[in-house]
Amino acid sequence: MKFIADRMLGKLAKELRMLDYDTIYYRGEDAYPLIKLGREEGRVILTRGTRLAPQRSEDRIVRITEDKPSLQLRELIQRKIISLIEEPLFSRCLECNTLLNEIPREEAEGKVPDFIFYQQREFFRCPQCSRVYWQGSHQDHMRKKIEELFGKSRACDLS
Ligand SMILES: [Zn+2]
């Protein structure tokens, strides 16, 4: 399942990428490109607005009712629009949704904190925005998020 999130849902877009869902973050105000991209790329539209309504049978629009960004991911899970994957793949840039490339370890030196460089074996870089990631970077984010949403016990199950 692929998504396009409207301008109100930037945090949710990042969290979906963390779970490896292909998610475009659309910052514009005009609703038409949102619908158009949804159709062209088969994306489910996530919106906080109330104005957007499906115009064709293929339009899939999910209206997020939760105000708090920290609870919007939980809303998607509770409504069974997404499920928590047990082992996220950590393959997507959190900032720009691009698939990451693995890079030789020495190329990460100086681009990540020293202790991370010594601790980690595998590094990945976003070909679009050049951010460098490592396995733990996504895992730590996600573990924290899952703790927030479901309490500590669930997060332990996943580790
Ligand atoms: Zn990127």
Q: Both ends of the chain: CA-CA distance in Å?
A: 25
Residue type, 57: S
Ligand 1 center to residue 90 CA distance, Å?
13
Please report the beta strands in the chain, taking only residues with DSSP state E, as ranges in sequence order.
2-5, 23-25, 43-47, 61-63, 101-103, 123-125, 132-134
Report pLDDT for 77. 87
Ligand 1 center to residue 95 CA distance, Å?
5
Ligand 1 center to residue 65 CA distance, Å?
28
Report pLDDT for 152. 53
pLDDT in tens, 26-44: 999 888 899 999 999 999 9
Report pLDDT for 18. 84
Q: In whole angstroms, what separates CA 10 from the centre of its chain?
A: 9
Report pLDDT for 86. 56
Q: Which residues fall inside 5 Å of ion ligand 1, going by CB?
A: 93, 95-96, 98, 126, 128-129
pLDDT in tens, 100-147: 999 999 999 999 989 889 988 889 999 999 999 887 766 677 777 777
Ligand 1 center to residue 55 CA distance, Å?
32
pLDDT in tens, 43-59: 999 999 888 888 888 89
Element holding 142 (H helix, E strand):
helix 135-150
